[in-house]
Amino acid sequence: MDLGHNPALTVGAQVELAVRLIAGLALGAIIGFERELHRQPAGFRTHSLVSLGAALFAIISGYGYGGAAIDPTRITAQIVSGIGFIGAGTILQYRGHIRGLTTAASLWSVAAIGTATGTGLYVLAVLGTILILVVLSLLDRVEAYARRRLSLRPDGYDLAEGAAQETRQPEAAAGPAQGATTPPPSAHEPEPEQPEGELEDLP
């Protein structure tokens, strides 16, 4: 049984595939470094490995099966679904705050960068990396400014409306106590007796 690659890859082709792997690793590391600066759980190493793995899968789907009649897009589709499980592990919910959505999206995007380098689309991969960095770095400030103007938390909760509701609740609880009046004495209650020494003589 012949286990060799058919057709055999030349030295130049193998060098080209190695360059694709290195490019995928480097571009993923750049995005991971930005996430590392923001102290995210998925940082430098995670993004590097995701991009490298996606590039490797893309190379295998195109060159690993020789002349076999397969659909290389099936492996690419599995990369997308597989990265979804990794991204889900970075999403956390704590006291009403949802964190990790941006990091999950960056992992998904890094997988696309690795796939692009694995298929030799270097220009597309570099351009995609630049755009991802713009979104993560510059648009983060725009988003923070917009949330301050709208008084919104990162999960979309309206801080101004929440503060107004918290103010109205104590007022509603204290309203009946402040407006309450002393009930009039009952008609069945006996009148206080007047001392005998203070009785006036009748004419």
Each residue's pLDDT tens digit, 166-203: 566 655 555 555 555 555 555 555 555 555 555 445 44
pTM of the full structure: 0.62
As a whole number, mean pLDDT of residues 14-33 equals 91
Amino acid 183 reads P
Question: What SS3 state is found at 97?
Answer: strand
Give percent of the chain with pLDDT exceeding 90. 22
C-alpha closest to that of 62 among 76, 77, 80? 76
Region 29-34 average pLDDT: 90
For residue 29, pLDDT beyond 90: yes
Task: Over range 125-143, report the average pLDDT.
Answer: 86
pLDDT band at 67 (very low <50, low <70, confident <90, very high): low
Name the H helices within the chain.
11-37, 44-63, 73-88, 101-118, 122-150, 159-179
Mean pLDDT of the chain: 74
Only one residue has tokens 């993560």, namely 136
Rounded mean pLDDT, 86-101: 68
* Preceding peptide of 7 cis, ω within 30°: yes
Q: What separation in angstroms does the CA of 19 have from each of 34, 118, 121, 127?
A: 23, 9, 12, 18
* Residue 72 pLDDT: 65
Q: How far is CA 189 from CA 93, 129, 180, 192, 193, in A?
A: 62, 88, 22, 9, 12
CB neighbours of residue 155 within 10 Å: 11
User: Measured between alpha carbons, how far is 7 from 87 in angstroms, rounded to an integer?
Assistant: 37
DSSP code for 35: H
Query: pLDDT for 122-132, tens place per residue?
Result: 999 999 999 99
